[in-house]
A and B are shown apart, each in its own frame.
Chain A
Amino acid sequence: MHIDLLAAEDAAKTLYIRALKILPPDIKEGLATLERAETMPGAREILRTMTTNIAVAEDNDNLLCQDTGIPIYTVSIGRGVAVDGQALKEAIRRGCARATREHPLRSSVVHPLTRRNEHTSCGAEVPVIHIDYDDAPDTWSLAMVPKGSGSENNSFLKMAVPAEGVEAIKRFVVDCVIAAGGKTCPPTIVGVGVGGTSDLCVALAKRAATRPLGSACADPDGAALEQALSAAVNHLGVGPQGLGGDATAFAVHIELAATHITMNPVAVNMQCHSARRARATFTPDGVRYGF
């Protein structure tokens, strides 16, 4: 199977717009679960407003949030799929720019020094494109996350040392959630990267933050730590929008990588309550859109 570059470009465009308008079902359910459990009336009211907004966005075919974010695309290529990788990256970039111009969307992307906005959501190294390979025989997928800045501006990395152990990780996660307060638009998905190099650790935190709710870390020790931290952060009282309450986070997600004998890195990256993502899966039968 070959990757059809025109179909890839169209999907890159469609996914950006779709992600901005329709929340995945796991996030909607997560919000409903938090609302049922919330004991503070003011916080419940905020969660209800978030739920109302989801319906208004769908009814009016509008964006959930004005922050169109930094576009991040993740490509996963099966074993039986042939691709010109460079051409695929160019196609994704064209699709991203088309979504921005043709919808139109606010371009939230600027040059880091001149702050110049090209109004295409593109720039040097942006959209962010990750390409990986998997076991699927005749399938490839394109996943898209528009990453908003309220949450992204509260990203943290700590190069802890081995002697600080798992305690350093727990303490750091709790303190990052406290430091972020309402700025990350809670309830959030708290993504935690543990191990690896500094750059891999941060990338793992992002991968964790954008995982579907209900999924678990593949490593059993990681999964147990996720459970413990998920319960703990919701006892802090930060609450929706940082105005107090139980619903501080949907969940804490952890992704692990092996690390150096003398290292113990931990990174935190959060996803706001509007935890937007979309996915297109291509098979020989055509394309299927989901989350």
Chain B
Amino acid sequence: MTHHTLHMPIDEAAVRQLKVNDTVTLEDTLYGIRDATQIHLFDRGRKTRMDLHGHAVIHTAPNVRKVPVSDRHPAGYEAICIGTTTSDRMERFTRPLMTEYGVRLVVGKGGLREGSLDAFRELGGAYLAIVGGTAALETTWIEQIEDVDMDDLNPESLWRFRIRHFGPLRVAMDSHGGSLYDSVRHDVDQQRDRVLAELGIGQGTGAATPTGARP
């Protein structure tokens, strides 16, 4: 269990250093991306002018306030509350994010599936788990909304955030086939029968005695 401070962007060698249960703090740059953003990028052939090569994306659709463009708000947006959404819905976009845009890290909550784990292993990527539902805290790690693209999809635009001490995040899926979600799920499946027995349900019983039956 090692702690890594990663100044974004990073290369493949840096990602390969990360192992499940390590902790990570991200610095400098983070891209916000969500369902609609990726549906438009990968299903509808839209392109972005942003360069995500070697970067981390976070599954988010932020609460923002539109403000005049200034040095402090170069994208014309002020962050109100930025937090992380459940990743699972966006499972099928992990590989194209990596192959077409060179993304190295996905920050999210709830985990991704086997397809993403394979992509991480083959291409050199990792999934960093944040504590979902702790957006007030997360917002304090974001210094500025630097840029926005595909803003007709607001709030599901493509966002570039300037970050400082973003984390700690936990490496929950690594580039070596390790997935914390898989190992927990395996353990939970092992517990299931014991828990059902605790509730008075024997193994392999499907039909219980009908309740309230009348002779």
Q: Interface on A for B, CB 8 Å cutoff?
A: 42, 46, 49-50, 52-53, 56-57, 60, 62-68, 103-108, 115, 117, 148-150, 153, 162-168, 170-171, 174-175, 178, 181-185, 228-229, 231-233, 235-244, 272-274
**Which residues of chain A are within 8 angstroms of B133 by Cβ–Cβ distance?**
50, 53, 64-65, 67, 148, 150, 185, 272-274
Can you identify 12 A-B contacts, CB atoms within 8 angstroms? A42-B21, A53-B131, A60-B136, A62-B80, A62-B81, A63-B63, A64-B134, A65-B81, A68-B63, A182-B184, A185-B133, A244-B180
**Which residues of chain B are within 8 angstroms of A167 by Cβ–Cβ distance?**
200-201, 205, 208
A185 near B195 (CB under 8 angstroms)? no
Residue among B82, B84, B86, B139 with max Cβ neighbours from chain A (10 Å): B86
Which of B191, B209, B211 sits near A235, CB closer than 8 Å? B191
**Which residues of chain A are within 8 angstroms of B132 by Cβ–Cβ distance?**
65, 150, 182, 185, 241, 272
Distance between Cα atoms of A64 and B82 in the complex (Å): 10
User: With A65-B81, A106-B155 given, can you name 5 additional A-B contacts, CB distance below 8 Å?
Assistant: A62-B136, A67-B83, A178-B185, A238-B184, A272-B132
CB distance from A219 to the nearest CB of B (A): 14
Which of A60, A236, A237, A240 sits near B140, CB closer than 8 Å? A60
- Bin the interface of chain B by size: 35 or more
A50 near B136 (CB under 8 angstroms)? no
**Which residues of chain B are within 8 angstroms of A182 by Cβ–Cβ distance?**
109-111, 132, 181, 184
B131 near A49 (CB under 8 angstroms)? yes
Distance between Cα atoms of A64 and B137 in the complex (Å): 8
CB distance from B94 to the nearest CB of A (A): 16
**Which residues of chain B are within 8 angstroms of A272 by Cβ–Cβ distance?**
132-133
Given contacts A50-B134, A57-B136, contact A236 B181 (CB under 8 A): no
A171 near B201 (CB under 8 angstroms)? yes
B192 near A178 (CB under 8 angstroms)? yes
A104 near B180 (CB under 8 angstroms)? no
Chain B 184-215 residues near chain A, CB threshold 8 A: 184-185, 187-189, 191-192, 194-196, 198-201, 205-212
B207 near A174 (CB under 8 angstroms)? no
Q: Interface on B for A, CB 8 Å cutoff?
A: 21, 36, 60-65, 80-86, 88-89, 109-111, 129, 131-137, 139-140, 154-155, 170, 172, 180-181, 183-185, 187-189, 191-192, 194-196, 198-201, 205-212
The 6 closest A-B pairs by CB, nearest first: A66-B83, A57-B136, A53-B134, A167-B208, A165-B208, A63-B81
